[in-house]
Chains A and B, each alone.
Chain A
Amino acid sequence: MEKFVRLEGLVAPLDRSNVDTDAIIPKQFLKSIKRSGFGPNAFDEWRYMDVGQPGQDSSQRPKNPNFVLNQPRYRGAEVLLTRANFGCGSSREHAPWALLDFGFKAIVAESFADIFFNNCFKNGILPIVLPAPEVEALFGQVEATPGYKLVVDLPAQAVIRPDGHAVPFQIDAFRKECLINGWDDIGLTLRHADKIREFEARRRIEQPWLFA
């Protein structure tokens, strides 16, 4: 996994609550057995005027000019700004894969759905929860300022606005360490292989019916 330390990125605003993972990557793209290539189909139903199909060349499809991410001023955005309960719905990891492939490395929101939140960390995307008034202020600033960029400083746990105002955010110490070092979860867990074996052996004796 790629390390995440500090990012200075263009911000794109998606002004909606309850954006679900099916909106982020519609179900027809889940038929792929790969992890990559979902970027052109991120937000497919909102982004294009037609219904996308897997394997299709999306560069030729008619775009919805009203969808915010189609506006030229947000091209190349790396920070997504959105509202409450982002990533609700299906557990599909295709959602963070699509966002990452699209170019987003950090997502700022009032709140996230649990499974999506977890899936972000597994893919090196940093989901940042900020209080509603801070999110509201950011929406105002982003809309008013073309080329608006935020600095995300993970070691300092702060989002820094262009005016220098730093907004602190919370993150679990363990997750932070994993992101900063780009650690692979499985490798980390297997350091405890002996403990897992011991636990399992005890469980086989205490609750043998679980090992039929």
Chain B
Amino acid sequence: MPKTLYDKLWQDHVVHQEADGTALLYIDRHLVHEVTSPQAFEGLKLAGRKPWRVSSIVSTPDHNTPTDHWDEGIQDPISRQQVETLDANIREVGALAYFPFRDPRMGILHVVGPEQGATLPGMTVVCGDSHTSTHGAFACMAHGIGTSEVEHVLATQCLLQKKSRTMLVAVEGSLGKGVTAKDVALAIIGTIGTAGGTGYAIEFGGSAIRGLSMEGRMTLCNMAIEGGARLGFVAVDDTTINYLKGRPFSPTGENWDKAVAHWRTLHSDEGARFDRVVMLKAEDIRPQVTWGTSPEMVVPVDGSVPDPTREADPVKREGMERALQYMGLKPAMAIKDIAIDKVFIGSCTNSRIEDLREAASVLKGRHVAGNVKLALAVPGSGLVKRQAEAEGLDKVFIAAGFEWREPGCSMCLAMNADRLEPGERCASTSNRNFEGRQGPGGRTHLVSPAMAAAAAIAGRFADVRDVL
């Protein structure tokens, strides 16, 4: 019987199965950061247990680290304690790779893993972070876990899982000028809703997806969780294999050939059945901007803020009204009339080299508008930063009036000093526009890097297709 990619990945990792279908799955790669691991290491120690296979661990601090004045260390004592706790834990147990604070390879785990070749096709990849779905771009079964599960993986190298249903999201055709993977991700979430993928593993397919770079596929899979799916993935093709060749932890020599032969099997078979299929036409997707406090509250840039009185479902209507109030917006207002205070280009969704290139191509020779108080560019890793500087992108950002920062999660979740003040409005390339996500009272609009750059220049949302 033809199998889906998910079936293949699942079957390749089952160690044991309970009568009700709950399976014990083997975990190949465990990504560890400072926020969700301390309680797990402590639990392990208290129970007198040893980690099962430390060579599965790749670790770096990212959530709490500052993005400027690295020479001064971490000023916030509680953040510092968390990062130091990670240092101590990894030093004690060991890891395949650890990039401590200020290491040139430090960065957001979901950027660092792939660029190191530590995320390889066919792996199970877990991390105490919901955006672990990013690694699905490499045909991995990759998803976020809670801290108890982090401890479980440390102790047993396994996870208890129930099989998800399968969904194919197929985007056919070619994307228009200025339309990026981020717009595809937002358009998909706008179509299926933030709970549309709950209980599903989503395979992204179709010619538009095959046409994306690995960076674009990572952006797309990163957002799978915002559509409710813990898992999102793309089949292996030449793009995947070319990306991995020569990375520090990629296989070499004979192992490379063997690996490639195996990776070539990582796709859904012709005629495989999915529980649900969603089709989108690439030509229909325009640059997207969210207007509310949930990623499904999204419209094309040439659209307007929706009117709750037109919503029939009372629970939804109330949610819309609450979102409009929080966001300080009026129904039927044109998206292009919404002025912004800050711009954030970064996060595990959009902080890779291609994202920075896209933003820089819009910013080149232009300047941030006077009403924009702060524009931040935060590369996803030290290596991305170095690459961007080698290409001169830092100069473009700085000349345009952006601050060019050190890598980390930064204003994606505002655990460090980078944040919005109450009422401030931000064009952000991150993944969540929840209330308070970028700082208490802050208002987030999710967009692509090119759209964030266009908004920075205009001081309000603008259609990047007009400035390209």
Contacts and interface: CB of A to CB of B under 8 A. Distances in A.
Given A23-B435, A31-B82, A210-B120, A91 B20 contact: no
A173 B20 contact: yes
A51 B419 CA distance: 14
B146 A115 contact: yes
B381 interface: no
A91 B145 contact: yes
A114 to B, nearest CB: 5
Nearest to B422: A51
Contacts of B338: none
Contact of A16 (B128, B152, B258, B319): B319
Contact of A34 (B22, B39, B230, B294): B39
A33 B435 contact: no
A207 B81 CA distance: 39
A114 B198 contact: yes
A122 B301 CA distance: 42
A18 B228 CA distance: 11
Interface in A31-76: 31-35, 45, 51, 54-55
Interface in A177-212: 185-186, 189-190, 192-193, 195-196, 199-200, 203, 207-212
B262 interface: yes
A28 B419 CA distance: 12
B373 interface: no
Interface string A90-124: 11110010000000000000011111001100110
Interface residues on B, range: 35 or more
Contacts of A189: 24, 152, 155-156, 158, 160
Contact of B38 (A33, A193, A199): A33
B136 interface: no
B228 A35 contact: no
B28 interface: yes
Indicate the member of B21, B28, B155, B158 with the most A CB atoms within 10 Å: B158
A91 B39 contact: no
B252 to A, nearest CB: 9
A91 B28 contact: no
B156 A186 contact: yes
A192 B26 CA distance: 12
Contacts of B155: 186, 189-190
A20 B316 CA distance: 16
A18 B194 contact: yes
Contacts, number: 188
Nearest to A209: B251
B259 A114 contact: no
Nearest to B39: A35
A26 interface: yes
Contacts of A203: 26
Nearest to B231: A114
A27 B415 contact: yes
B195 interface: yes
A88 interface: yes
Interface in B20-79: 20-22, 24, 26, 28, 35-36, 38-39, 42-43, 47, 49, 52-53, 55, 63-64, 76, 78-79
A45 B436 contact: yes
A174 B20 contact: yes
A210 B413 CA distance: 32
Interface in B406-442: 413-415, 432, 434-437, 440
A212 to B, nearest CB: 6
Given A88-B195, A114-B228, A209 B255 contact: yes
B26 A27 contact: no
6 tightest A-B CB contacts, nearest first: A209-B251, A122-B148, A119-B146, A33-B38, A93-B146, A91-B144
22 contacts: A30-B63, A30-B415, A34-B39, A45-B435, A51-B440, A90-B432, A91-B128, A91-B130, A91-B144, A92-B36, A113-B228, A114-B198, A119-B148, A186-B47, A189-B156, A190-B155, A190-B156, A195-B24, A196-B15, A211-B55, A212-B55, A212-B251
Interface of A: 16-18, 20, 22-23, 26-28, 30-35, 45, 51, 54-55, 83-85, 88-93, 96, 111-115, 118-119, 122-123, 172-175, 185-186, 189-190, 192-193, 195-196, 199-200, 203, 207-212
